Amino acid sequence: MTWFVAICIALFLSVTVNIFLIWYSVKLIRELFDVSSTLEDLFVDIEAFSQHLQGVYELEMFYGDQTLENLLSHARVLAKEFDKYEMLFSLREPTEENRIDRFAHEEEIQA
């Protein structure tokens, strides 16, 4: 009879710990998705900033301005650094269309 009680207690503790671990794992996965989504938004904002800066630089009144050229160069470097982090933190594989768009945009900026 004492073995039966010991087994019931062990089983109860095991089930309780497993339920806690499942709950905690789900909570961590949700937080990871939230962080990934937030970082994805940040990467999109950085890319939009870089494109906007490129557009301003190409305006006739600013074309050739050294300060804007340096700022544009800095934005490119920053965007490339963020691309490294995007590969690290992204939970989804980038689509082929997104890769082609990004590659075309990088070539356009370098031209």
Domain ranges (residues) in the chain = 33-110
pTM of this structure: 0.52
Please state the rounded mean pLDDT for residues 37-49.
82
Contact of 86 with 43, CB cutoff 8 Å: yes
Residue 51 or 8, more confident: 8
Look at residue 100 in the predicted model and tell me its pLDDT: 47
Q: How far apart are CA 40 and CA 36, in angstroms?
A: 6
**Averaged pLDDT score across all residues of the chain:** 78
What's the pLDDT band for 19 if we cut at 50, 70, 90?
very high
Q: How far apart are CA 72 and CA 50, in angstroms?
A: 7
What's the pLDDT band for 14 if we cut at 50, 70, 90?
very high
Q: How far apart are CA 78 and CA 58, in angstroms?
A: 20
Look at residue 86 in the predicted model and tell me its pLDDT: 73
Return the SS3 of 62.
Answer: coil
